[in-house]
Amino acid sequence: MADPTGSSELDALRARVERIPSLDAAQLEAEHIALLGRRQGTITELLKRLPELPLEQRKDFGAKVNQLKVRADALIAERRAALETERRGRSDRVDLTMPPRRRWVGAEHPVTRVIDELLGIFRELGFAVAVGPEVETEWLNFGALNFPPDHPAMDLHDTIYLDAPPIEEKPHGGRLLLRTHTSPVQIRVMLASKPPIRVVIPGMCYRNDPFDPSHAPAFQQIEGLAVDEGISFVDLKATLTQFARRFFGPATKVRFRPSFFPFTEPSAEMDVECQLCHGSGCPACKGTGWMEILGSGMVHPHVIENGGLDPEQYTGFAWGMGPHRIALLRYGVPDIRLFYEGDMRFLGQFVPGRAAGWAGDRTPA
């Protein structure tokens, strides 16, 4: 190995250092390590070995190597800065306003979103999700729910029957139909479990209504049921008011007014302040300032009894609402039929975090 202190070696090293400004980014980093790396950098090594040299040589040579190190440091820093400027300069030529590359983003159905939000609120209020079959017997859909046989109340439920013979089933069989409401699940839950019962029941229901902008022959309903000792109309009002304020906003005004359902008594319709005019009256609320959101009531003693419970001991409240209707309201959709179509242009509007900007997104949502 040649004497590292030789001036030719040092000259070669100096020349190498002076070439630093011509290096590209990768070469620069490699050269940094090669020259100044803490372990095996050429200059580092020279500095490390200084103590081994005789004193008179050490002074002069040490000063030169040190100069070289200072020079290399400076050139490397300078070159790095220059390369960075150059890089940035290049990226300035990239037009960052060009359209981004996107992914297909999926979405849950707008009605599902509403249902999930509703279920979420009721879960917070201590209710669990229950379900039941869509084909029911006449008994469970009507009789068990205190519809008197052959009563005008049934006219409100244009029932779709199955082309099938009646069936035997406990506690009562009968003709098969597509359930007109989720209320039969009330009976099923009561028969299958003991109070305290707090369930919320989503599901498809059917009525023989032709399609029009606000009606569909099949529609989602959300039913709720709370049965326990000591449950009263006060609890009904408080729970549903809590719901309304969580769903529509904390300052939402609500009102309960008398209504009629065979399976609840007293029955109450809950209205919330019209979401469009906030109570001043508009065509959407027919000038009343209120919008009907759900039907509710104290569970009729006959229904509690048909659920296998003692109506003297247990009381309860129940309610039902239409997520389709709420979705119409919430999203300003003019026609319920849109919810039954797989129109990508419609469903795509409900993609979470949908960006505004390029292409296609210019249509006002």
Residues 263-322 that bind another protein (CB under 8 A): 265-269, 286, 288, 298, 300-301, 315
Under rule CB under 8 A, which residues in 216-255 are in contact with another protein? 216-218, 226, 228, 230-235, 237-239, 241-242, 255
Among 23-31, 38-46, 56-64, 159-167, which window interacts with another protein (CB under 8 A)? 159-167
What's the min distance (Å) between Cβ of 109 and another protein? Answer: 4
Q: Which residue has the tokens 């023989």?
A: 208
In the complex with another protein, the residue whose CB is nearer, 256 or 319, is 256
In the complex with another protein, the residue whose CB is nearer, 35 or 298, is 298
How far is 338 from 347, CA to CA, in rounded Å?
A: 9
User: Which member of 77, 341, 354, 361 binds another protein (CB under 8 A)?
Assistant: 341
* Binding-site size, another protein (CB under 8 A): 101
x/- binding map, residues 62-91, to another protein, per CB under 8 A?
A: ------------------------------
Q: Could you say whether residue 126 binds another protein (CB under 8 A)?
A: yes
Nearest-5° Cα angle at 262, 259 to 264 = 65
User: Which member of 54, 89, 342, 364 binds another protein (CB under 8 A)?
Assistant: 342
**In whole angstroms, how far apart are CA 325 and each of 221, 267, 292, 295?**
10, 21, 10, 13
Q: Which amino acid does the sequence have at 139?
A: W
In the complex with another protein, the residue whose CB is nearer, 104 or 356, is 104
User: DSSP class of residue 345?
Assistant: H
Q: Angle between the 55-92 and 7-18 helix axes, to the nearest 10 degrees?
A: 10
What's the min distance (Å) between Cβ of 3 and another protein? Answer: 41
How far is 360 from 346, CA to CA, in rounded Å?
A: 12
User: Which member of 12, 25, 128, 355 binds another protein (CB under 8 A)?
Assistant: 128
User: Which member of 13, 17, 68, 130 binds another protein (CB under 8 A)?
Assistant: 130
Burial 177-205 (b: 16+ CB within 10 A, else e): bbbbbbbbbbbbbbeeeebebbbbbbbeb
What's the min distance (Å) between Cβ of 335 and another protein? Answer: 14
Under rule CB under 8 A, which residues in 88-107 are in contact with another protein? 98-99, 101-107
Three-state SS at 341: coil
Q: Enumerate long-range contacts of 151-158, CB under 8 Å, 24 or more apart.
A: 151/262, 153/260, 153/262, 157/181, 157/207, 158/207, 158/208, 158/209
Under rule CB under 8 A, which residues in 33-52 are in contact with another protein? none
C-alpha 93, offset from chain centre: 39
Under rule CB under 8 A, which residues in 174-203 are in contact with another protein? 176, 178, 189, 193-194, 196-199, 202
How far is 347 from 360, CA to CA, in rounded Å?
A: 13
